[in-house]
């Protein structure tokens, strides 16, 4: 399985961006996909996740109400719509995938994901 993230860029405080993650390879049965981010000097943190049926969609508290994750299984794409961006959202954003179902806090653990994209830089200027 390969994941390719794109859509990052430079945006002003309050602006919007949509990130895309193209999933290829043995995608059948890939149950969970998620977005993580890592700011300079900080640990990688969970942003949002989505199950294969889009029935389970957890978000980090810091992005609830501003970010929306979605997926198009027919196109093997996962998206992250980011609105009302803040300077503290500045980070490299990574998409990740796993064949394993996740419950509760398991969504947020980066070591629970088997496949990672290369990351895309998001910079929010104040």
Q: Is the predicted pLDDT of residue 121 greater than 90, yes or no?
A: yes
DSSP the chain: -EEEEE--EEEETT--EEEEEEEESS-TT--EEEEEEE-TTS--EEEEEEETTS----B-TTTTTTEEEEEETTTTEEEEEE-S--GGG-EEEEEEEESS---GGGGG-GGG-SEE---EEEEEE-
Cβ proximity of 80 and 109 under 8 Å: no
- What pLDDT, on the 0 to 100 scale, is given for residue 3? 95
- Which tens digits make up the pLDDT trace of 12-66? 999 999 999 999 988 777 789 999 999 999 999 999 999 988 888 899 999 999 9
- Which tens digits make up the pLDDT trace of 84-93? 999 999 999 9
Cβ proximity of 20 and 120 under 8 Å: no
- What pLDDT, on the 0 to 100 scale, is given for residue 101? 87
State both tokens at 74.
């027919």
- Which tens digits make up the pLDDT trace of 93-115? 999 999 988 888 889 999 999 99
DSSP bridge pairs for 12: 125
């Amino acid at each position: 399985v390969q994941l390719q993230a794109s859509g990052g860029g430079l945006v002003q405080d309050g602006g919007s961006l949509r990130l895309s993650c193209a999933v290829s390879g043995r995608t059948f049965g890939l149950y969970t996909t998620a977005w993580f981010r890592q700011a300079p000097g900080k640990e990688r943190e969970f942003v949002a996740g989505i199950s294969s049926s889009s029935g389970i969609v957890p978000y980090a508290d810091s992005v609830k109400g501003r970010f929306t994750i979605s997926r198009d299984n027919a196109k093997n794409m996962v998206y992250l719509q980011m609105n009302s961006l803040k300077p503290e959202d500045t980070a490299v954003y990574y998409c990740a995938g796993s064949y394993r179902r996740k419950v509760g806090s398991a969504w947020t653990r980066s070591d629970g994901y088997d496949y990672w994209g290369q990351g895309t830089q998001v910079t929010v200027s104040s």
